[in-house]
Amino acid sequence: MKKTAKPDKKRLLFIFGTRPEAIKMAPLILRLKRSCHVIVCATGQHREMADQVLSFFSVKPDFDLSIMTPNQSLFDLTASCLKRLENVIDRSAPDLILVQGDTTTAFVGALAGFYKKVPVAHIEAGLRSFNKLSPYPEEMNRLLAARLSDLHFAPTAAARENLIREGIPARSVYITGNTVIDALLKGLEIVKKDEGRYRKSFRSIDFTKKIILVTAHRRESFGKPLEEVFGALKELAADEGVEIVYPVHPNPNVRASADRILKGARNIHLIEPLDYPHLIWLMHKSTIILTDSGGIQEEAPSLGKPMLVLRDVTERMEGIKAGTAILVGTDRKKIISKARALLSRGALYNKMSKARNPYGNGKACEKIEQALARYFVN
């Protein structure tokens, strides 16, 4: 009896450039390698920070575009990335391009796929703040990526509804949860095996105190808004039994203000940006988190950590509605008031720490794999 030839493996081109993208793509890359021919393109939008994540998850890029240069404008970044992706797509001949989230890399990757008439799948699709200037330029990046994509992997039902309201065909939208939870659970499993190493890295911090982890770097907060946040941190650090840990983003607009306002302040630790495993460990050990990061808004609920979101608007309203986070913006008085309420570890803290994570349970990669199998069969 003649054997039926096995179909060739589908060629999947993953395009990403920032650390959050690398975190969210890595577990999916590892899973799909079992059944598909996976090609990895790192644009270099976040050079060192993304490389650390790839090393942690043992993912090696097939293409490295190294597009980032000092003080690069969005014009430069977009043009450089688009031109270099032309050659990547020509050489890799993918059946499908996968982009993630809301970065310039994601938008340009989707645009490059469209120009080359290669189908595009958008991971973490459908997030909306409904304000094109906040977050900037991310809100417009994801809107444009949605129009250019053929498959949409929405993390929540609300994200799916956003896409359908915008005219995206319902048959092309899948609710999968967010792959960041897959990455977090895997990463936490790894770092817990080496507790001593991570505790040693933070030996200057007194973990018998209440730890406030801070991440703040958003472009729309540069200047006065960020100064208000830093003023709130300085006041909170004066409270008894509190220590604040702030990995300072390398952007000069962030670092200059942080050094001027916070450097040398009592109970405030300004440290260098953390690699992914150290950040996971520190989140796990913190009491509360103050952040303007999208990824941390998704991750922290799985660790039972209440959050204050340092943004006026967020495209991750599911967390606000579920009670895992409170939107405080950059209002100094509100930040101080809500942080103190949580640090008292009363009813509000207990309620928020036990709220269900609306962004998934670590099965997003499995659901995306199943959706891709159906897509290629059809």
The alpha helices in the chain, defined as continuous H runs, are: 19-32, 47-56, 74-92, 104-115, 138-148, 157-165, 179-191, 195-201, 224-237, 252-262, 276-285, 294-299, 317-322, 332-343, 347-353, 364-377
Q: What is the Cα–Cα distance from 301 to 31, expressed in whole angstroms? A: 24
278 is catalytic: no
311 is catalytic: no
Distance of CA 327 to the CA centre of its chain: 18
217 is catalytic: yes
165 is catalytic: no
Q: Which of 47, 219, 255, 269 is catalytic?
A: 219
Residue 317 CB partners (closer than 8 Å, separation 6+): 158
31 is catalytic: no
Q: Are strands 120-123 and 63-64 parallel, antiparallel or unpaired?
A: unpaired
Q: What is the Cα–Cα distance from 118 to 45, expressed in whole angstroms? A: 23
Say which residue the tokens 């080496």 belong to: 194
Q: Which of 11, 37, 47, 249 is catalytic?
A: 249
Q: Which of 124, 182, 298, 315 is catalytic?
A: 124
220 is catalytic: no
Quote the tokens at residue 306: 């209440």
* Strand intervals (E) in 61-114: 63-64, 96-100
**In degrees rounded to 5, what are phi and psi of residue 13?**
-105, 115
Distance of CA 374 to the CA centre of its chain: 27
Q: Which of 102, 182, 243, 318 is catalytic?
A: 102
Contact between residue 84 and residue 92 where contact means Cβ atoms under 8 Å apart: no
Q: Which of 19, 31, 122, 217 is catalytic?
A: 217
What is residue 97's DSSP assignment?
E
Q: What is the Cα–Cα distance from 225 to 2, expressed in whole angstroms? A: 71
Q: Which of 21, 31, 138, 312 is catalytic?
A: 138
Q: Hey, which residues are catalytic here? A: 102, 124, 138, 217, 219, 249
